[in-house]
Amino acid sequence: MSDVPAALYEGKAKIVYPGEDADTLVLFFKDDTSAFDGEKREQLARKGEINNAFNAYIQTYLQEHGVPTHFLRRLDARRSLVRRLDMIPVESVLRNRAAGSLCRRLGVEEGRLLEPPVLEFFLKNDALHDPMINRSHIRTFGYAHAEEVERMEYWTLRVNALLRERFAQVGLILVDFKLEFGRFAGEIFLGDEFSPDGCRLWDVQSQEKMDKDRFRRGLGGVVEAYIEVARRLGIATDA
Amino acid sequence: MSDVPAALYEGKAKIVYPGEDADTLVLFFKDDTSAFDGEKREQLARKGEINNAFNAYIQTYLQEHGVPTHFLRRLDARRSLVRRLDMIPVESVLRNRAAGSLCRRLGVEEGRLLEPPVLEFFLKNDALHDPMINRSHIRTFGYAHAEEVERMEYWTLRVNALLRERFAQVGLILVDFKLEFGRFAGEIFLGDEFSPDGCRLWDVQSQEKMDKDRFRRGLGGVVEAYIEVARRLGIATDA
Ligand SMILES: Nc1ncnc2c1ncn2[C@@H]1O[C@H](COP(=O)(O)OP(=O)(O)O)[C@@H](O)[C@H]1O
Ligand SMILES: Nc1ncnc2c1ncn2[C@@H]1O[C@H](COP(=O)(O)OP(=O)(O)O)[C@@H](O)[C@H]1O
Ligand SMILES: [Mg+2]
Ligand SMILES: [Mg+2]
């Protein structure tokens, strides 16, 4: 018997604990940072608290603009309370500019404007290295219903419209981002986190990378860049 | 100056020559057989003529059942006359059962029934190893218009309904197949070839592979299997 409830799940970046009741969960943001299917791993001091604050800001911003999200409230520096969702094992990736795997796959130069933005789905499965899938795979293998996929697409485009604009206001290009969704009470809600761990942000002036690519490429100053993005958005990070 | 017109293009399995007029082409079926992005290559005696006869039969069958195809007529053992299309650089792959790359990508056992069938698009680009793409890539990179993609999907499903049934009549399971489409006079036409080089066929009794997987896996009896499939369909192969 211990005072701290047992973790329900420990992932690459967060630990999931039970919440106050059966309908909620507590997300604990770790300093662990991983890339290349977990091949590169490091602890980056303060990253967990920065991402927790960052995510709280973005999820609240999206809620205020009509996006249904799991977020309930930040509990402390590293923990947030969320609605427990029945997660859909599909990552929804939106790309405003070419970067990362898209460049390699399609032979496109980094930074190329994608108009309209590209939307991709990936199966969330570490053992299979998160393979790209399409609506047909999602339907045939039962990962989600056709209408759920449509809602995911709709909310992904809506999140993009909202956040592209918000980041532009503070001199940042939202290059791409990854979202996860889940079911609650018959509706599709945005789950997981939105932080520089799961998106690409470039400074509009210097074109400097302000996201996890600094970690992937060993550029250094990873958490410093996250803090700078947070500062521009008016997010307090010295809690 | 030569009597034989210069080839317009030499591919992995066929040589393309100009036709009688600007609107037509002659496809010459080679014995060359390749797999794994051209890493494995071999000449298989008589394969070209078998595929030419096979393709003529299938394209005619599809036309008789309302599918618009480029096929005009077989000219001789190795050559067929086709309508010249403005090819769409996208391969349309339909899967009734799991096999090949799908099994590797999604960790699915070979032979698993896919209901509804899975439909995938691949960019036809050897240098990039024919990467999988979705409607969003096709639209953003301008490979085809949204309505063209819809026609490709429609005709791919229609071809599947027709051929699955036809092969079932002769004791063969149509596991999967690849199609290529092109534009002519504002419409989408089926192009290229339909042969055991670009589909998977299993004997319903013995589950034996009767297609190019015999070559990929070094099982031997490749052309013999193609001839047996042709024989069952009533295709004359001793021209
Ligand atoms: N609201 C939610 N309800 C249930 N599960 C969630 C919710 N939000 C996020 N999750 C899941 O919790 C886990 C968060 O931990 P993380 O370290 O990101 O894991 P992973 O390594 O699997 O990505 C993820 O598997 C994510 O899908
Ligand atoms: N009706 C057509 N009009 C124009 N091009 C065609 C037509 N049918 C097939 N093609 C193209 O002709 C080539 C046939 O040769 P092939 O050996 O299959 O080439 P590849 O190695 O590029 O697949 C292919 O590139 C195919 O896209
Ligand atoms: Mg995660
Ligand atoms: Mg070909």
Cis peptide before A116 (omega within 30 of 0): yes
Residue pair B52/B60 in contact by the 8 Å Cβ criterion? no
pLDDT tens string A66-104: 999 999 999 999 999 999 999 999 999 999 999 999 999
Identify the nearest ligand to the CA of B38 by its number.
2
Residue pair B24/B72 in contact by the 8 Å Cβ criterion? yes
B125 touches chain A (CB under 8 A): yes
Range A118-142 average pLDDT? 97
**Strand B86-97 to B113-123 pairing:** antiparallel
The interface pTM score, or ipTM, of the predicted complex is 0.96
pLDDT along chain B (239 residues), means of 10: 82 96 97 94 97 98 98 98 98 98 98 98 97 98 98 98 98 98 97 98 98 98 98 89
pLDDT band of A5, cuts 50, 70, 90: confident
Residue A239's nearest CA partner among A69, A70, A83, A48 is A48
Question: Around B49, how many Cα atoms within 13 Å sit in the side-chain half-sphere?
Answer: 9
pLDDT tens string A34-44: 999 889 999 99
pLDDT band of A2, cuts 50, 70, 90: low
Residues 59-78 of A with CB under 8 A from B: none
CA distance B135 to A71: 32
- Report the share of chain A in percent with pLDDT over 70: 98
List the beta strands (DSSP E) in chain A: 9-10, 14-18, 24-29, 32-35, 40-43, 71-76, 79-83, 86-97, 113-123, 132-133, 172-184, 187-190, 199-203
Positive or negative, the Cα torsion across A94, A100, A106, A107?
positive
Task: Quote the radius of gyration of chain B (alpha carbons, Å).
Answer: 17
Distance of CA A76 to the CA centre of its chain: 20
Best of B137, B139, B154, B160 to substitute, by most chain A Cβ atoms within 10 angstroms, is B137
CA distance A182 to A88: 5
Beta bridge partners of A224: none
Domains of chain B with CATH codes: 9-83 (3.30.200.20), 86-222 (3.30.470.20)
Contact yes or no for B136 and A127 at CB 8 A: no
pLDDT at A238: 78
Nearest to B120 among A117, A127, A134 (CB): A134
pLDDT at B2: 56
Distance of CA B22 to the CA centre of its chain: 24
